[in-house]
Structure 1
């Protein structure tokens, strides 16, 4: 049975380095015989604001219902997005706020400090671009966006292991460097 991969492009533009990395990963995974579905957040129609927090779950738009179905289908999630201001773009955060809901991604236990991780059994790979050199993001900034996505979102929901690959600095990168990053994403897909 082939591996089921859901690739989520968290960059709003379909003409970005992130989009090229996502396409390369999808191509490599398809070549490896995996089943691949893609969600491009810039193409979805949804309100990214959780207007009342989790006090009352607002109805999901059709695109978000389909996204939950795709996440349920997948064995492996691949998120491709840039780091802006130390973390993911607002569009990706809004998508997570609206889709990774109580009862779908997790469920608190009654009279307990613990919760059920409803997305267990899945793994993830984050392909993250940044203008900051990855070593600087790690050692000076302590990788706040990586920790947020890996620990407080995906692992909280039961998704693990979570692999992270950082690409940068993007600003002033050469065409050759971007081609090398794209080839690396293709290889990641082939290895999925």
Structure 2
């Protein structure tokens, strides 16, 4: 079945393994006939700082308005990013701070304990690279970045299920290992 897929590259560099993974996923998804958009955060023009929290409206830059439109358009979202300091890069966190706003991504009902996720009926796949061995990140660190992305950001906004794939350790990986990761990214896109 044909899907509308939004790929968000949460790495600031176009010369990164994450960029290669995002582009390879895109090729696989296009080969399967899906409608795909790629959003590269490093190319967007926006202030990643929510200057006044939710106390004052901060106008969205045109790139963020377009990003919100793509999120509404998408049926499936793919986030490709590195794990830095155990979590997501600042550019990705700043992007979420600015676009996942009350009234767009979630809404609190008076007296309710939890917010209503306004981006329901969408699924997501997280593809994260890391220098930590994925088993160590899972069992010793307890996956803080994955939990943040899956539970406290995407599921909070109604996006589920959220699949998670970890590639690592990157720093010591051999070219053949990276080729296997790219082949998996292509397959993920093709089978989305």
TM-score, normalised relative to structure 2: 0.98
Alignment gaps of 5+ in structure 1: none
Structure 1 stretches (4+) deviating beyond 4 angstroms?
Answer: none
For the aligned residues, what is the CA RMSD?
0.8
Distance 1:17 1:114 in 2: 37
Matching residue of 1:70: 70
Matching residue of 2:56: 56
Alignment of 1:151-170 (within 5 A): 151-170=151-170
> Which SS does the other structure have where 1:150 is aligned?
helix
Matching residue of 1:100: 100
Q: CA deviation at 1:26?
A: 0.5
Q: CA deviation at 1:20?
A: 0.4
Distance 1:56 1:65 in 2: 18
Matching residue of 2:121: 121
> Which SS does the other structure have where 1:19 is aligned?
helix
- Kindly provide the CA deviation profile for residues 110-164 of structure 1, in whole angstroms up to 9, marking residues without a partner as x: 2322322100000000000000000000000000000000000000000000000
Distance 1:185 1:65 in 2: 28
> Which SS does the other structure have where 2:151 is aligned?
helix
TM-score, normalised relative to structure 1: 0.98
Distance 2:114 2:82 in 1: 32
| Number of aligned residues | 192
Alignment of 1:84-95 (within 5 A): 84-95=84-95
Alignment of 1:147-186 (within 5 A): 147-186=147-186
